[in-house]
């Protein structure tokens, strides 16, 4: 099972922490949770992934697989669709490494880190 961890405290924009009383991270998390509901991936929220200056941030993890941290997302449905689609490809892969040709357009340029699995 692949899990998308969404930072729910990320800023809404460079100048605004919140929009309509929600952080950018909360707004992105709501989009991701809605889209992922039928996609076979789990979603969790985490307050701060320590990438605050490149909000909004997510991490994609699965047991025994590479973890990927992605950032610089706008808190919008388009971002969430790309994140969920990428997580589905991560879930289908053996190691967590998704071939570049399978990357959704919306994740390109958003990768921050790749972290090896312990297992």
Is 52 a binding residue for ligand FES by CB under 6 A? The answer is: yes
Q: Is the dihedral of CA 28, 33, 39, 42 positive or negative?
A: positive
Q: Where are the beta strands (DSSP E) in 27-98?
A: 42-46, 58-62, 67-70
Measured distance CA(81)–CA(4) in Å, rounded: 12
> Least distance in Å: CB of 75 to ligand FES?
11
> Least distance in Å: CB of 52 to ligand FES?
3
End-to-end CA distance of the chain: 15
Measured distance CA(6)–CA(64) in Å, rounded: 20
Contact string 5-24 vs ligand FES (x = CB under 6 A) = --x-xx--------------
Q: Which of 31, 55, 90, 110 binds ligand FES (CB under 6 A)?
A: 55
Distance of CA 26 to the CA centre of its chain: 12
Q: Which of 37, 40, 48, 108 binds ligand FES (CB under 6 A)?
A: 48
Is 25 a binding residue for ligand FES by CB under 6 A? The answer is: yes
Contact positions toward ligand FES, by CB under 6 A? 7, 9-10, 25, 48-52, 55, 57
């Amino acid at each position: 099972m692949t899990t998308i961890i969404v930072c729910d405290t990320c800023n809404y924009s460079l100048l605004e922490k919140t929009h309509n009383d929600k952080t950018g991270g909360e707004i992105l998390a709501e989009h991701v949770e809605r889209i992922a509901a039928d996609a076979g991936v789990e979603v969790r929220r985490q307050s701060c992934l320590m990438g605050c200056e490149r909000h909004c941030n997510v991490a994609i993890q699965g047991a025994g697989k590479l973890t990927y941290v992605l950032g610089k997302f706008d808190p919008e449905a388009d971002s969430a669709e790309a994140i969920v689609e990428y997580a589905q490809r991560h879930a289908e892969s053996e190691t967590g490494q998704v071939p570049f040709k399978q990357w959704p357009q919306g994740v390109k340029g958003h990768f921050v880190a790749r972290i090896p699995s312990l297992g």
